[in-house]
Amino acid sequence: MTTSYLTTPNARKTQQQTYRYFVELASNELELDRNGIPVPKRYQIVDVVVLENTKAAIETAITVAGWLEGYSMVAHWLPDDSCPF
C-alpha cells in the first residue's frame, strides 16, 4: 500500500481553515483471492487537505486529481498522531 499527498489548489493560498484526512482508495481493477473471491488489486492511502469539512469535498478533490482514476474511496478518517504514515 502506498501513501500519496493531495492538497486542493486554493488550500495553499488561503487564510481559510483547512481540513486534513487520510483516505483509503481501492482499485476498481479486481483479482481473485485465494478463495476465488474478487478483491481490489491495489489499495492506496492518500493524505488529503481540503477547504471544507465534508465527504463531498474529499471526493471532489480525489476526482479532480486525474492521477487517481481507476480507484474508489473506501474510507476516510482524521489523522492520528500515532499513525505510522
Task: Convert the pLDDT of each residue in 7-62 to its tens digit.
Answer: 766 666 666 788 999 999 999 999 999 999 999 999 999 999 998 999 999 988 88
* Structure confidence by residue, pLDDT tens digits, 8-22: 666 666 667 889 999
Whether 63 shows a pLDDT value over 80: the answer reads: yes
Under DSSP, the state recorded for 37 is -
Whether 85 shows a pLDDT value over 60: the answer reads: no
User: 3-class SS at 62?
Assistant: helix
Q: What is the dihedral of CA 65, 71, 77, 79, to 10 degrees?
A: -60
